[in-house]
Amino acid sequence: MAGRRRWSTEEILDAAAELLSAGDTESFSVRRLAATLGTDSSSLYRHFRSKTELLRAVADRILLASMDGYRPEGDWKQRITALALRVREAFGRQPQLAAVWGRYASGGAGSRLVMEEVLQALRASGLPDEQIPACYHRLAVLIAALIASEAGFGGITAEEREQGMEHFRVAVLGADPERFPALAHFARDVRPLGADRGAAFEEILAAQLAQIEAAAGPDRPAGDTRTG
């Protein structure tokens, strides 16, 4: 009787990513993954010690893919913006996995590459070294939150999106002006969460980078890309 096939780490991650793309992290389990592969859970635990470790590895592969072919160009703000857009695009192709990244921080090769580039760019901004870790953390939280939010919206159906728009119109345009005077005043200009998310992503990121630039002070030339 032939033994069960031995799955490689990459094959396991491929299957896990596919299973996650069809569902979510709550329904995902090592047991379900093992059943999909036609093996038992113990064989997968030889590669990953826990479900969390497996999910971190899946998310890290998205980060690694986003860095494929990346070359730093431009000043420090352009570098961070370009990198953030690459990560956003990579998770946009597998939106269900964006929540995995936000929930399970990765320490793999992809994560290290992203962290290194952002930290190098922040050093080029002129910020004192002691301020860079806090700025990096704020940027990482912001980018992860924006990507997860956008991915969550992108995962709904066209019918669900239209229902959401209708609820938004009723809630905003039908607001009682006595109880909600500001909402009634801005009702025709307030936009739903799903509108122009791409532009909003870049505008919010640009605002955060402008704050960092202001904190760095006026002494650093705008095009300085020094990393050391």
- Please check whether residues 100 and 188 belong to one and the same domain: yes
- Please check whether residues 117 and 224 belong to one and the same domain: yes
Residue-wise pLDDT for 15-26, tens only, equals: 998 888 777 677
100/107 Cα distance (integer angstroms)? 13
Residue-wise pLDDT for 121-161, tens only, equals: 999 999 999 999 999 999 999 998 888 888 766 556 678 77
225/72 Cα distance (integer angstroms)? 10
pLDDT at position 217 is 78
154/13 Cα distance (integer angstroms)? 23
pLDDT at position 14 is 92
- Please check whether residues 29 and 75 belong to one and the same domain: no
DSSP count for the chain of H helices, then E strands: 11, 0
- Other Cβ atoms less than 10 A from the Cβ of 41: the count is 14
- Other Cβ atoms less than 10 A from the Cβ of 136: the count is 18
pLDDT tens string for the chain (228 positions)?
345 678 899 999 999 988 887 776 777 889 999 999 999 898 899 999 998 899 889 989 999 999 999 999 999 999 999 999 999 999 888 887 887 787 776 678 999 999 999 999 999 999 999 999 999 999 999 998 888 888 766 556 678 777 877 888 888 888 899 999 999 899 888 877 666 767 888 999 999 999 999 988 765 544 444 443
Percent of the chain with pLDDT over 70: 87
Residue 63 inside a domain? The answer is: no
217/224 Cα distance (integer angstroms)? 13
Distances (CA, A) of 45 to 16, 39, 105, 157: 13, 11, 20, 35
Residue 55 inside a domain? The answer is: no
Residue 62 inside a domain? The answer is: no
- Please check whether residues 220 and 185 belong to one and the same domain: yes
Look up residue 130 and give its DSSP letter.
G
| Helix, strand, coil content of the chain in percent (nearest 5) | 65, 0, 35
Residue that is written with structure tokens 């929540």 in the block = 99
Burial class of 134 by CB neighbour count within 10 A (0 to 12, 13 to 18, 19+):
exposed
Contacts of 56 (CB under 8 A, 6+ apart): 104, 105, 106, 107, 108
**Would you call 24 helix, strand, or coil by DSSP?**
coil
- Please check whether residues 44 and 109 belong to one and the same domain: no
- Please check whether residues 42 and 78 belong to one and the same domain: no
pTM to 2 decimals? 0.79
- Please check whether residues 80 and 187 belong to one and the same domain: yes
pLDDT at position 104 is 72
- Please check whether residues 77 and 29 belong to one and the same domain: no
- Please check whether residues 135 and 39 belong to one and the same domain: no
Residue 192 inside a domain? The answer is: yes
What backbone torsions phi and psi does residue 101 show, to the nearest 5 degrees?
-60, -45
Residue 207 inside a domain? The answer is: yes
pLDDT at position 75 is 96
We report the CATH number of the domain holding residue 134 as 1.10.357.10
We report the CATH number of the domain holding residue 1 as 1.10.10.60
Per this entry, what is the length of the chain? 228
Residue 110 inside a domain? The answer is: yes
Residue 59 inside a domain? The answer is: no
- Please check whether residues 228 and 131 belong to one and the same domain: yes
Provide the number of structural domains found in the chain: 2
Residue 54 inside a domain? The answer is: no
Burial class of 56 by CB neighbour count within 10 A (0 to 12, 13 to 18, 19+):
buried
- Please check whether residues 1 and 80 belong to one and the same domain: no
- Please check whether residues 143 and 193 belong to one and the same domain: yes
pLDDT at position 67 is 94
Domain range holding 187? 71-228
